[in-house]
Structure 1
Amino acid sequence: MTQTAGTGTIDELRKTFQGEVFGPEDPGYDDARRVWNAVHDRRPAVVARCESTEDVRTAIGFATEHDLEIAVRGGAHSVAGDSAIDDGLVIDLSKLNEVTVDAEAKRAKIGGGGLLGDLDAATQEYGLAVPAGMVSHTGVGGLTLGGGMGWLTRMHGLSIDNLVSAQLVTADGRVLRAAEDENPDLFWAIRGGGGNFGVVTEFEFRLHEVGPIVHHGMLFWDQAQGPEVFKLARELFADLPREINVAIAGLNAPPAPFVPEHLHFQLGYALLVNGFGSAEQHAELMDRLRTALPPLFEFATPMPYTAVQQLIDEANGWGKYNYEKGAYLEELTDDVIAVITEHLPRKQSPMSINLYYRLDNAYSEVADDATAFSGGRSPRFATFIVGVCGVPELLPVEREWARSFWSALVPHSLGIGSYVNSMGEIEDDRVRASYGEKYERLARVKAEFDPDNVFHRNANIHPARIGSRLI
């Protein structure tokens, strides 16, 4: 691909494009090219901010005609920078963010560029929600296509488990609906297979009754108590009601009003406890935890579900330098705990964090082969080792910390594969390991809908081939 586009060429796109088009010389170009992860400071030849599905078709056609590599931008939250590109064309979906809710049918539709905050705000007007992520400025599209983990996963599964249908534009410009009863192989593939098969312009989800008031709690312990915290959590998960989700975090205490000032930025371990059942159920669990292992501080309060979904927005704000490695763990064994408590203190940035999410109940009630999700459906923990810093000079240190931590953890994990949305860099062997036996089926679907691998800035699935022929 030549990956260049002069002013005259860009003007050609403007003639048939409804939305805004930004070239390097245009006002607004720098804002249009900026993405969440500051690591990826890339300069596309053109940014096409789409107003409609027809605009998406036009942008894809223009890019293929002029040999421009394509990046697709929804919420621009890709850790690996897949929504940014040098010299090519960015298909910006941010204007496709309309949400419609059918409260009676418990269904919601959202444009491919909508954010979780858009979806939560619209559905919570009716006391409903889609199981989704935990940061409200994340794009629904990228999150969903990779799977979609969140606070509601133990109750209602992944985002893809609640996807009813999707509309997408393929590399050859076809506008297709994917659902159980229409293009079923494609529907299977987009539920976990990422953006490999086209540009999704609309998602339709199944909704569940949630909130509007839920119950949040946090307990924090000194780093020396790390082994005790993990063993307490291990016991807790054995009989944890599905209405409660608990995440384990290795982090520096935030400088928040509920944290004693002398503990600000102290390294330690926290349990984040979100309850979607009764207040009594949440209170009983919090009491069980504080009695078993008294924390340095705690915080507990009822709050709107939308507020819970925004709790870590600031910590995950734009403009920081991020790197991430992930894995799946079958159990929090003593050996796993030893690795964690050895490696967490080696981080240098107070922004860096290590997280553990329990995946079971509704998550495990879905058959492994029902979707293309990059992880088995047996009960497990998803861990995320996230290096974050405010200045680029510290990034190499935090990146090495995350890699070293991950390398030490992998021998105790379910392999080198992980949740594809958590990949800070796309490594082909890890992508293949993540999908396992599903990879070959995904490759066949890829060959049918994107044989030339036009959409390859993702956890890429290579189109299936026999010899030199696509199949």
Structure 2
Amino acid sequence: MTETTIITREGATATLAEEAVVAFEQELRGSLLTPDDEGYSEATLIWNGMVEKTPALVVQPTGTADVVAAVKFAREHDLLLSVKGGGHNIAGTALADGGLTIDMSTLRGVVVDTEARTVTAQAGCILGDVDRETQLHGLALPLGFVSETGIAGLTLGGGFGYLTRRFGWAVDNLQSVEIVTADGAVRQASSDSEPDLFWGVRGAGANLGVVTSFTYRLHDVGPTVYGGLIAWPFDRVDDVAATYQELTATAPRELTVFMMFRRAPAAPFVPPEWHGKHICAMAVCYSGDLDETDEVLAPIRALGDPIVDLLQAQPYTQLQSYLDATQPKGNHYYWKTEFAADLSDELVDTMGKLALESPIPGAQMVMAHIGGALNDHEPDDGVVGNRDAHFAYGAAGMWEPNDPKEEAYKQWVRDAWAEFQPFSTGGNYINFQTMDEDDERIRATYGGNFDRLLEIKARYDPDNVFRTNRNVRAIAAPEDLTGGTDHTAGTGGRPEHA
């Protein structure tokens, strides 16, 4: 091994001496990979193929001690640092281009405590890992709706899924974390221990350290629920949308329905004559009393004559993986999303119009009903905020690599966003932000909680070691920071490689 060319936190090019890298590798129990090593490509493979980054070094820890060593090494050598959990973030923040990436994917232990009704999961777990273990006991928590998503990124950004209407954001169910902060300290954060840090972790945790394990509160769910996919021709959009609006206004919290306008995929469950044609679809999850299924789903059934009907009683773990195939790893993804307080006729009409106009074959216009338990909390209960959200909606663009129309597709999504953004609450979901969002989008994510978050960031990470994320410190003015000191001097704002 010779000198290693790296990117510093400020975005400059520098070199690491061979002896420094060798000494670091000897300190680790886990693997240290370079681009020439076997396993590097797999360690740096992320979901959004649009993002192309090449870390100079990748650490695959065997435990918290390796994480501590990696954080200290990155700090000592001024390395750009990132943390990769499931690698499912649309902005590609899992990878530090030219820097050091901590790949947590080898840490996938899950322990369920049925007496305490909690689960503790390591940060490399994906949703399917946790669902599989908790469902052995008929327990679950709101963790997304694609089983290959990493729990760490999802949770640290707030997290929502099919059970959010019943139990709130994922972070509303978080009891504690083990976290390695920028000084290399291992801390236990909860409402009783390091409460300010825990408050910030609940929605902006990527800014504050490397969480190595999460402990969540569990709820009785499953193991059998009712749901799946159902779809109708797009020329029935008025009836379908009206039913959806009425249903979401009165549905029990045990029922969650997402509505999608898109072209039908060439999937085995879609009749061949409908492949590529515009449809209205619903993704359904009913986790209540199965004896009441017919009554609860009666409005959907009353629409009649679907072209696809996969609604059935099934294991919750199966339902949680239903949409996996619609988001294959390696495709290019570009989204713009918002939160809405209600689903007005104008919003629905706009989303339908945009679906018909979209030139992107794999695009979806999505409206996800999330209102319920999350609205029961105060706006400052965790930095996640957005307690006025009842729907998450937006344009989800997807296409295969090397599509010559990529730039035109991205521009179409941006133009569509300009049309549907006026219906927004003003907040948005940090986990759905793409790599080119401006600073105001980050501020809007946290709303009135932003200033307190800055104070916590300044206390636990004054040098902005954790910046390869939707970074709050990079957009802070000097007067926003505690102590009257400009800790951002020399950073040049958000680094080019973040």
Q: TM-score range by the shorter chain?
A: over 0.9
Aligned equivalent of 2:388, options 355, 358, 378 = 378
Is 1:388 matched with 2:410? no
- Kindly provide the amino acid, as one letter, of the partner of residue 107 in structure 1: T
Equivalent residues of 2:240, 2:303 under 8 A apart = no
SS at structure 1 position matched to 2:297:
helix
Structure 2 CA distance for partners of 1:188 and 1:329, relative to 1, 3 Å:
same
Q: What residue is the counterpart of 1:219 in the other structure?
A: 230
User: Displacement of 1:139 after TM fit?
Assistant: 0.6
Q: Which moved more, 1:454-463 or 1:94-103?
A: 454-463
> What are the Cα deviations for residues 306-360 of structure 1, in whole angstroms up to 9, with x where unaligned?
0011101111121111111110112221221221122112323332222211122
Equivalent residues of 1:84, 1:90 under 8 A apart = yes
Q: What residue is the counterpart of 1:108 in the other structure?
A: 119
Q: How does 1:64-213 map to 2 (within 5 A)?
A: 64-213=75-224
- Kindly provide the amino acid, as one letter, of the partner of residue 363 in structure 1: L
Structure 2 CA distance for partners of 1:175 and 1:230, relative to 1, 3 Å:
same
> What are the Cα deviations for residues 124-179 of structure 1, in whole angstroms up to 9, with x where unaligned?
11111121111111110000010110000011111101000001000110100110
User: Displacement of 1:199 after TM fit?
Assistant: 0.3
Alpha-carbon distance in 2 for matches of 1:294, 1:225: 10
User: Displacement of 1:385 after TM fit?
Assistant: 1.6
Equivalent residues of 2:138, 2:221 under 8 A apart = yes
Q: What residue is the counterpart of 2:448 in the other structure?
A: 437
Structure 2 CA distance for partners of 1:3 and 1:47, relative to 1, 3 Å:
farther
Alpha-carbon distance in 1 for matches of 2:31, 2:393: 39
- Kindly provide the amino acid, as one letter, of the partner of residue 329 in structure 1: A
SS at structure 2 position matched to 1:270:
strand
Q: How does 1:208-287 map to 2 (within 5 A)?
A: 208-287=219-298
Question: TM-score scaled by structure 2?
Answer: 0.90
Q: What residue is the counterpart of 2:338 in the other structure?
A: 327
Aligned length: 469
User: Displacement of 1:194 after TM fit?
Assistant: 3.3
Alpha-carbon distance in 2 for matches of 1:283, 1:257: 27
For structure 2, the residue ranges without an aligned partner over 5 or more in a row are 1-7, 489-498
SS at structure 2 position matched to 1:404:
helix
> What are the Cα deviations for residues 427-451 of structure 1, in whole angstroms up to 9, with x where unaligned?
2110001111100000000001001
- Kindly provide the amino acid, as one letter, of the partner of residue 421 in structure 1: N
Alpha-carbon distance in 2 for matches of 1:238, 1:334: 13
Alpha-carbon distance in 1 for matches of 2:28, 2:229: 49
Q: How does 1:340-351 map to 2 (within 5 A)?
A: 340-351=351-362
Is 1:418 matched with 2:434? no
Q: Which moved more, 1:101-110 or 1:19-28?
A: 19-28
Q: Which moved more, 1:69-78 or 1:20-29?
A: 20-29
For structure 1, the residue ranges without an aligned partner over 5 or more in a row are none
User: Displacement of 1:469 after TM fit?
Assistant: 4.2
Alpha-carbon distance in 2 for matches of 1:352, 1:52: 40
Q: Which moved more, 1:460-469 or 1:276-285?
A: 460-469
Alpha-carbon distance in 2 for matches of 1:109, 1:116: 13
> What are the Cα deviations for residues 48-79 of structure 1, in whole angstroms up to 9, with x where unaligned?
11111110010111111122100110001110
Equivalent residues of 2:256, 2:370 under 8 A apart = no
SS at structure 2 position matched to 1:86:
coil
> What are the Cα deviations for residues 200-246 of structure 1, in whole angstroms up to 9, with x where unaligned?
00100001111111111432122233233222211111210111111
Q: How does 1:6-45 map to 2 (within 5 A)?
A: 7-45=18-56
Alpha-carbon distance in 2 for matches of 1:32, 1:8: 24
Equivalent residues of 2:339, 2:392 under 8 A apart = yes
> What are the Cα deviations for residues 250-270 of structure 1, in whole angstroms up to 9, with x where unaligned?
122233444322112322111
User: Displacement of 1:470 after TM fit?
Assistant: 5.5
Q: Which moved more, 1:453-462 or 1:276-285?
A: 276-285
Q: What residue is the counterpart of 2:69 in the other structure?
A: 58
SS at structure 1 position matched to 2:154:
helix
User: Displacement of 1:10 after TM fit?
Assistant: 2.6
> What are the Cα deviations for residues 416-471 of structure 1, in whole angstroms up to 9, with x where unaligned?
x3100000124211000111110000000000100111111112111642654459
SS at structure 2 position matched to 1:193:
helix
Structure 2 CA distance for partners of 1:144 and 1:22, relative to 1, 3 Å:
same
> What are the Cα deviations for residues 366-402 of structure 1, in whole angstroms up to 9, with x where unaligned?
2221111142x13521113211111232432321222
Equivalent residues of 1:230, 1:332 under 8 A apart = no
Alpha-carbon distance in 2 for matches of 1:248, 1:6: 54
Equivalent residues of 2:165, 2:253 under 8 A apart = yes
SS at structure 1 position matched to 2:121:
strand
SS at structure 1 position matched to 2:468:
coil
Alpha-carbon distance in 1 for matches of 2:343, 2:209: 38
- Kindly provide the amino acid, as one letter, of the partner of residue 132 in structure 1: L
Equivalent residues of 2:372, 2:390 under 8 A apart = no
> What are the Cα deviations for residues 84-103 of structure 1, in whole angstroms up to 9, with x where unaligned?
12210001111111000101
Equivalent residues of 1:3, 1:67 under 8 A apart = no
Q: What residue is the counterpart of 2:4 in the other structure?
A: none
Structure 2 CA distance for partners of 1:116 and 1:284, relative to 1, 3 Å:
same
- Kindly provide the amino acid, as one letter, of the partner of residue 295 in structure 2: E
Question: TM-score scaled by structure 1?
Answer: 0.95
Q: What residue is the counterpart of 2:471 in the other structure?
A: 460
SS at structure 2 position matched to 1:274:
strand
Alpha-carbon distance in 2 for matches of 1:33, 1:4: 21
Q: Which moved more, 1:399-408 or 1:250-259?
A: 250-259
Alpha-carbon distance in 1 for matches of 2:18, 2:87: 25
Alpha-carbon distance in 1 for matches of 2:16, 2:59: 13
Structure 2 CA distance for partners of 1:83 and 1:170, relative to 1, 3 Å:
same
Q: What residue is the counterpart of 2:372 in the other structure?
A: 361
Alpha-carbon distance in 1 for matches of 2:469, 2:422: 26
Structure 2 CA distance for partners of 1:307 and 1:194, relative to 1, 3 Å:
same
- Kindly provide the amino acid, as one letter, of the partner of residue 423 in structure 1: Q
- Kindly provide the amino acid, as one letter, of the partner of residue 465 in structure 1: L
- Kindly provide the amino acid, as one letter, of the partner of residue 386 in structure 1: A
Structure 2 CA distance for partners of 1:420 and 1:407, relative to 1, 3 Å:
same
- Kindly provide the amino acid, as one letter, of the partner of residue 392 in structure 1: N
User: Displacement of 1:3 after TM fit?
Assistant: 5.2
Equivalent residues of 2:148, 2:324 under 8 A apart = yes
Q: What residue is the counterpart of 2:60 in the other structure?
A: 49
Q: CA RMSD in A?
A: 1.8
Aligned equivalent of 1:397, options 408, 423, 447 = 408
Structure 2 CA distance for partners of 1:163 and 1:113, relative to 1, 3 Å:
same
Alpha-carbon distance in 2 for matches of 1:249, 1:233: 11
Equivalent residues of 1:3, 1:88 under 8 A apart = no
Equivalent residues of 2:90, 2:334 under 8 A apart = yes
